[in-house]
Chain A
Amino acid sequence: EAGVAQSPRYKIIEKRQSVAFWCNPISGHATLYWYQQILGQGPKLLIQFQNNGVVDDSQLPKDRFSAERLKGVDSTLKIQPAKLEDSAVYLCASSLDPTTSAISYEQYFGPGTRLTVT
Chain B
Amino acid sequence: GNSVTQMEGPVTLSEEAFLTINCTYTATGYPSLFWYVQYPGEGLQLLLKATKADDKGSNKGFEATYRKETTSFHLEKGSVQVSDSAVYFCALGPNYQLIWGAGTKLIIKP
Interface of A toward B, CB cutoff 8 Å = 4, 6, 31, 40-43, 45, 48, 55-56, 91, 93, 95, 98, 104-112
Contacts and interface: CB of A to CB of B under 8 A. Distances in A.
Contact of A91 (B44, B46, B93, B101): B44
B95 interface: yes
Interface of B: 32, 34, 36, 42-46, 49, 51, 89, 93, 95-98, 100-103
Pairs A-B, 6 closest by C-beta atoms: A42-B100, A98-B96, A105-B93, A104-B32, A109-B43, A109-B44
Contact of B43 (A104, A106, A110): A110
Mostly, the A contact residues are loop
Nearest to B98: A107
A98 B49 contact: no
A106 B34 contact: yes
A91 B43 CA distance: 7
A4 B93 CA distance: 20
Contacts of A91: 43-44
